[in-house]
Amino acid sequence: GESAMAYDDNNIFARILRGEIPCRKVYEDEHTLAFHDINPQAPVHVLVIPKGPYTDWNDFAARGSDTEIAALVRAVDVVAKQLGVVEDGFRVLSNIGVNGHQEVPHLHIHLFAGRRLGRMVP
Ligand code: 5GP
């Protein structure tokens, strides 16, 4: 279907992808970038994003290639292994749209780890 809104080329993650704003990089491949969140909510808080211009999960599912989608899923796993959090466990989360309290309009997967995160609450 149609995406709810056009992709905003000037969102903060687009600027990070263009190298206009620095980030603390964790992982990068052809299709994906991962970097530390600037305002971490856990001892480990990393954002994993596709390099392509996708606003959110729905847009990515509609317009992303199977290669890009597979790359993002695998990148989350690679990052978790690289950070050494697989054995103790971790959480992945994506905020989508207004009700999901999405603040940056470029799809991002949060990866939280490093402490007992407690029950997931809305
Ligand atoms: P959202 O609420 O959209 O799911 O999450 C956006 C996340 O991006 C927040 O956790 C926020 O701390 C993070 N963030 C916002 N601006 C920057 C930035 O310039 N650099 C980095 N590394 N993270 C950012």
Tens of pLDDT along 30-66? 999 999 999 999 999 999 999 999 999 999 999 999 9
Residues 6+ apart with CB under 8 A from 35: 16, 23, 24, 25, 26, 46, 47
**pTM reported for the whole predicted model:** 0.96
Q: Where are the domains of the chain?
A: 12-112
108 is catalytic: yes
Q: Looking at the predicted complex, does its ipTM rise above 0.90?
A: yes
Nearest atom within ligand 1 for CA of residue 35: 22
Supply the pLDDT for residue 1.
Answer: 41
Atom number in ligand 1 closest to CA 12: 19
CA of 37 to the centre of ligand 1 (A): 6
Nearest CA to ligand 1 atom 12: 39
For domain 12-112, is the CATH number 3.40.50.970? no
